[in-house]
């Protein structure tokens, strides 16, 4: 099934409008092209509504938010809803500052997100209204392990029921859940945490996957998570054959996303559902 999901992305070339942070925006643009989509960035309130109208999905990433762009996010999110475009929220650093936490909540009140993707600390903030986010990284004490996995899955399903959004929690083990069903993904490599923006990139890929598979978004999001994790593994295999470091690794990850196909994906994905 994931094979068809990937094929739909490559055939439909979904155009993804990103209101995203300026730290990782170039990687987000290039990974969207690599995965079979197409990016466009626009954050002025008078530009974003038109731009989202010609797109197939919207990413809202609050990584370097400011007062001006928060207004654009709220307004454009409503427009995406009106157009029935999938909207994906990446609450970067929610819990790390009052502004980020409040912006995330305002967005959740105003916009119906098809998917919310974050690390466990950010998602806990979304759920509980406060978190222990260590900057843009998850707090170690929050980490999802095999031991607390059932609990984490149950948490994700309940949050999905409450928000009516697919919840994607990424870390060493990834969870992709709606109210009824969760995919657990064990792809990826620890070195990915030494590359800035792997989360932002995944969020954008999820948006492209959901846009091209709008009647099957849970599986689309799970497939996107597998694609990113498997790309991280393939890139690592390539890295150790060269004398590269983390910056080469970043390049290789995007390369691997671009070379992914259905056979490789279904051969390499480590996914189960519960």
x-or-dash string of contact with a copy of itself, 101-140, rule CB under 8 A: ---------------------------------xxxx---
Question: 75: closest CA among 60, 63, 92, 90?
Answer: 60
Question: 200: closest CA among 14, 61, 34?
Answer: 61
The answer to whether residue 254 forms part of the interface with a copy of itself (CB under 8 A) is yes
Q: Which residues are CB-neighbours of 237 under 8 A, at least 6 positions away?
A: none
CB of 63 to a copy of itself, least distance (A): 7
Q: Terminus-to-terminus CA distance in the chain, angstroms?
A: 17
Among 245, 261, 273, 274, binds a copy of itself (CB under 8 A): 245
Scanning 26-34, 144-152, 163-171, 207-215 for contacts with a copy of itself by CB under 8 A, the matching segment is 26-34
Q: Which residues are CB-neighbours of 147 under 8 A, at least 6 positions away?
A: none
Q: Which residues are CB-neighbours of 58 under 8 A, at least 6 positions away?
A: 16, 17, 18, 19, 52, 76, 77, 80, 85, 86, 87, 88, 207
SS3 120: helix
CB of 23 to a copy of itself, least distance (A): 5
x-or-dash string of contact with a copy of itself, 38-57, rule CB under 8 A: xxxxxxx-xx--xx--xx--
State the Cα–Cα distance between residues 107 and 35, nearest whole angstrom: 27
What distances in angstroms separate CA 22 from CA 18, 103, 174, one per listed residue? 11, 17, 25
CB of 52 to a copy of itself, least distance (A): 9
Q: Which is nearer to a copy of itself, 29 or 222 (CB)?
A: 29
Please, which of residues 157-216 interact with a copy of itself by CB under 8 A? Answer: 194-197
Please, which of residues 59-98 interact with a copy of itself by CB under 8 A? Answer: 63-68, 93, 96-98
Give the tokens for residue 39.
């990016």
CB of 29 to a copy of itself, least distance (A): 4
CB of 21 to a copy of itself, least distance (A): 7
The answer to whether residue 154 forms part of the interface with a copy of itself (CB under 8 A) is no
Instruction: Find where tokens 């995406």 sit.
Output: 80
Q: Summarize as ranges the residues that interact with a copy of itself (CB under 8 A).
A: 15, 21-27, 29-30, 33-34, 38-44, 46-47, 50-51, 54-55, 63-68, 93, 96-100, 134-137, 194-197, 238, 243-248, 250-259
């Amino acid at each position: 099934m994931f094979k068809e999901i990937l094929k739909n992305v490559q055939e439909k070339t979904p155009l993804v409008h990103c209101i995203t942070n300026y730290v990782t925006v170039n990687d987000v643009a290039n990974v969207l092209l690599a995965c079979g989509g197409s990016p466009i960035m626009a954050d002025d309130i008078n530009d974003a509504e038109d731009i989202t109208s010609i797109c197939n999905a919207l990413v809202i990433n609050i990584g370097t938010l400011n007062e001006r762009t928060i207004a654009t996010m709220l307004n454009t999110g409503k427009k995406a809803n009106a157009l029935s475009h999938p909207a994906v929220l990446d609450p970067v650093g929610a819990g790390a500052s009052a502004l980020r936490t409040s912006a995330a909540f305002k967005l959740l009140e105003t916009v119906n997100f098809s998917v919310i993707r974050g690390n466990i600390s950010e998602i806990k903030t979304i759920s509980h209204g406060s978190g222990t986010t260590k900057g843009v990284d998850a707090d170690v004490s929050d980490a999802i392990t095999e031991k607390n996995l059932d609990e984490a899955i149950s948490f994700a399903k309940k949050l999905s029921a409450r928000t009516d959004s697919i919840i994607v929690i990424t870390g060493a083990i990834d969870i992709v859940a709606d109210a009824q069903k969760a995919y657990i993904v064990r792809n990826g490599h620890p070195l990915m945490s030494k590359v800035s923006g792997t989360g932002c990139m995944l969020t954008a890929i999820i948006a492209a996957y959901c846009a091209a598979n709008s009647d099957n978004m849970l599986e689309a999001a799970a497939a996107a998570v597998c694609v990113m994790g498997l790309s991280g593994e393939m890139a690592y295999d390539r890295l150790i054959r060269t004398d590269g470091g983390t910056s080469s690794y970043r390049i290789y990850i995007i390369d691997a996303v671009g070379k992914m196909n259905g056979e490789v994906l279904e051969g390499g994905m480590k996914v189960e559902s519960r």
